[in-house]
C-alpha cells in the first residue's frame, strides 16, 4: 500500500517537472503570444444590477442595452478576434449583496471590467470592491459621492448623470417657471438626499423657499399618510425625489389625492420604464429630467443608429433612459479596450480618459479629475395624449448642453485640480 502511493507520487512529480519545463520553454519562445491568445477566455464584463425589487423594470433595460453593446463589439470582430461577454448578476438593490456579487465577479468569474448598478448607495459598495482590486468600474446610475475624492479612484468612471447635474437642470427650468415655494418628498437614502441638496443649491439662484422635506423609506407602497401634510404646506412645486416603483406609486397616489390640481409636481428623474409601468394617468403633467430619450433621434445620428440597432435586436422595442446608460457604460469600456488594443487596466483607463465620444446621445467626454461623463441633460414632461407608439411617453421641453460649469468643480470634490 505504502509503496504504491510513493510510486504514484513520484510519477506525478516527474510529470509535473516535465510540464513545468515545457511551460518555461514556451514562456520564453516567440510562439507564446499566439498560443495564449488562442486559449484566452472572452473579455468578461461583470454587470451587477437590481433585477428584482423596486427598480427591476429599469434594470432589465440596462441588461438589454448592455447586451447590444457587447453584440456590436463582437460583430465588429472584437479585440483582434477576442470576443466580449456580459456576466449579469442580480444585486437585489442591496449594497451588501452587490459587494458580494461583485467580489464573486472579480475573484471567481475573473471579469476584466465591471459596469452596472442602479442605486446611489449600491454603486459605492461596488466601487469599494473594484477600486481595492484595481478593476475598472463604469457606474451607470446617479451618484454625487462617486465623483468625490473620498470614493473616487482612477479605476472609477461614471457614465450616468449625477444628481448635481440633474437637479440643476430641472431646477433651473422649474423654479423659473412654476414658482418659488417648494416642498419635497424624498426617498430616504443617498439618491434622494443628493437630489434635494442639488435642488436647494440651484434654488439659491432663484430664491426659492423650502417649505419642508418629508422622507420616506426605500420601497414604500403607501404614501397616503404623507400626502395630506404635503398638501397642507400649500407649495407651488412638489418635488418628488424617488425612483422606480416608489416613483410610480408616489405619483399615482398624489394624482388620486388631487395634488396636481393646485401644485406642479417635478421629479429630478422621470424614468421611462416607470412611466410605462405606471401608465399615463399617474405621470400626467409631471416635469423632470433624464439622460436620454429615444425621441432625440431627429437631432443626433448616433441616437438614430442606437435606436435602430436596439429595435432590430428586440422586436421593434425602443430603448429607455436607463437602457441607454447600460449601452453607454458597456460601449465606452469596449471602445477603450479597442483604443488601447489590450485589456490591461492601466492602458484601458488611459484610453477611456481620452475618449471624445458620441455613441447614443450627442457629444460626451470623461472629465479628467473625477471621470464624470460631461453630457447633456434633458428636461422632459410626461405625455398623456397624442402618443404615436407605446414608447412615445415624453416631450422634451429643453436641453441643457454638456458643459463643465454645470458640474461641481474638481476642487470642491476634493481633487487636486
For another protein, the binding residue among 209, 222, 308, 401 (CB under 8 A) is: 222
Piece in contact with another protein (CB under 8 A), picked from 134-142, 151-159, 210-218, 377-385: 210-218
From 56, 64, 65, select the one nearest 119 (Cα to Cα): 56
For another protein, the binding residue among 252, 317, 338, 347 (CB under 8 A) is: 252
Interacting residues with another protein between 341 and 360 (CB under 8 A): none
Spatial neighbors of 132 by CB under 8 A, at least 6 apart, are none
For another protein, the binding residue among 2, 80, 224, 417 (CB under 8 A) is: 224
Note whether 56 binds another protein by CB under 8 A.
yes
What would the grid cell of residue 66 be? 448592455
Separation between Cα atoms, residue 174 and residue 181, nearest integer Å = 11
Q: How far is the CB of 375 from another protein (least distance, A)?
A: 27
Q: How far is the CB of 231 from another protein (least distance, A)?
A: 7
| Long-range contacts, 190-193 (Cβ 8 Å, 24+) | 190/119, 190/120, 190/121, 190/124, 190/143, 190/145, 191/119, 191/120, 191/121, 191/142, 191/143, 191/163, 191/241, 191/242, 191/243, 192/241, 192/242
Note whether 393 binds another protein by CB under 8 A.
no
Q: How far is the CB of 236 from another protein (least distance, A)?
A: 15
Piece in contact with another protein (CB under 8 A), picked from 11-19, 53-61, 74-82, 160-168: 53-61
Q: How far is the CB of 217 from another protein (least distance, A)?
A: 5
Q: How far is the CB of 185 from another protein (least distance, A)?
A: 9
Q: Per DSSP, what are the bridge partners of residue 289?
A: 269, 379
Residue 44 or 193 with smaller CB distance to another protein: 193
Residue 79 or 273 with smaller CB distance to another protein: 273
Residue 257 or 300 with smaller CB distance to another protein: 257
Interacting residues with another protein between 107 and 146 (CB under 8 A): none
Note whether 233 binds another protein by CB under 8 A.
yes
Q: How far is the CB of 253 from another protein (least distance, A)?
A: 7
Q: What are phi and psi of 395, to 5 degrees?
A: -120, 130
Interacting residues with another protein between 264 and 283 (CB under 8 A): 273, 276-279, 281-282
Separation between Cα atoms, residue 63 and residue 220, nearest integer Å = 25
For another protein, the binding residue among 232, 301, 387, 412 (CB under 8 A) is: 232
For another protein, the binding residue among 62, 127, 248, 352 (CB under 8 A) is: 248
Q: Using CB under 8 A, count the residues that bind another protein.
A: 41
Q: Checking DSSP bridges between strand 113-116 and strand 136-139, what pairing results, if any?
A: parallel
Binding footprint of another protein on the chain (CB under 8 A): 51-53, 56-57, 60, 188, 211-212, 214-217, 219-222, 224-229, 231-233, 245, 248-249, 252-253, 256-258, 273, 276-279, 281-282
Amino acid at each position: 500500500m505504502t509503496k504504491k502511493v510513493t510510486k504514484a507520487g513520484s510519477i506525478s512529480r516527474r510529470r509535473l517537472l516535465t510540464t513545468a519545463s515545457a511551460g518555461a520553454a514556451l514562456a520564453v519562445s516567440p510562439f507564446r503570444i499566439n498560443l495564449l491568445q488562442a486559449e484566452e477566455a472572452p473579455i468578461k464584463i461583470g454587470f451587477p444590477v437590481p433585477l428584482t425589487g423596486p427598480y427591476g423594470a429599469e434594470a432589465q433595460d440596462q441588461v438589454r442595452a448592455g447586451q447590444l453593446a457587447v453584440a456590436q463589439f463582437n460583430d465588429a470582430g472584437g479585440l483582434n478576434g477576442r470576443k466580449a461577454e456580459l456576466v449579469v448578476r442580480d444585486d437585489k438593490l442591496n449594497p451588501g449583496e452587490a459587494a458580494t456579487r461583485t467580489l464573486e465577479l472579480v475573484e471567481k468569474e475573473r471579469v476584466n471590467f465591471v459596469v452596472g448598478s442602479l442605486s446611489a448607495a449600491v454603486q459605492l459598495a461596488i466601487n469599494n470592491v473594484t477600486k481595492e482590486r484595481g478593476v475598472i468600474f463604469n457606474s451607470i446610475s446617479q451618484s454625487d459621492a462617486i465623483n468625490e475624492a473620498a470614493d473616487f479612484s482612477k479605476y472609477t468612471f461614471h457614465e450616468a448623470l449625477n444628481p448635481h447635474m440633474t437637479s440643476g437642470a430641472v431646477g433651473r427650468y422649474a423654479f423659473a417657471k412654476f414658482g418659488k415655494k417648494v416642498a419635497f418628498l424624498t426617498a430616504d437614502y443617498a439618491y434622494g438626499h443628493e437630489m434635494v441638496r442639488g435642488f436647494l443649491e440651484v434654488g439659491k439662484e432663484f430664491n426659492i423657499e423650502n417649505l419642508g422635506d418629508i422622507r420616506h423609506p426605500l420601497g414604500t407602497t403607501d404614501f397616503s399618510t404623507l400626502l395630506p401634510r404635503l398638501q397642507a404646506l400649500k407649495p407651488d412645486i412638489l418635488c418628488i425625489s424617488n425612483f422606480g416603483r416608489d416613483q410610480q406609486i408616489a405619483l399615482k397616489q398624489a394624482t388620486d389625492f388631487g395634488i396636481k390640481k393646485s401644485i406642479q409636481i417635478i421629479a429630478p428623474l422621470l424614468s421611462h420604464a416607470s412611466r410605462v409601468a405606471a401608465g399615463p394617468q399617474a405621470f400626467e403633467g409631471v416635469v423632470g429630467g433624464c439622460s436620454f430619450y429615444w425621441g432625440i433621434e431627429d437631432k443626433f445620428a448616433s441616437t438614430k443608429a442606437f435606436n435602430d440597432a436596439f429595435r432590430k435586436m428586440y422586436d421593434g422595442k425602443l430603448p429607455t433612459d436607463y437602457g441607454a446608460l447600460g449601452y453607454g457604460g458597456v460601449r465606452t469600456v469596449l471602445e477603450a479596450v479597442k483604443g488601447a488594443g489590450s485589456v490591461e487596466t492601466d492602458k484601458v483607463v488611459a484610453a477611456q480618459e481620452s475618449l471624445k465620444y458620441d455613441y447614443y446621445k450627442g457629444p460626451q467626454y470623461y472629465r479628467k479629475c473625477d471621470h464624470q461623463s460631461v453630457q447633456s441633460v434633458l428636461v422632459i414632461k410626461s405625455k398623456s395624449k397624442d402618443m404615436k407608439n407605446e414608447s412615445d411617453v415624453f416631450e422634451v421641453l429643453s436641453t441643457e448642453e454638456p458643459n463643465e460649469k454645470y458640474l461641481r468643480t474638481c476642487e470642491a470634490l476634493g481633487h487636486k485640480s
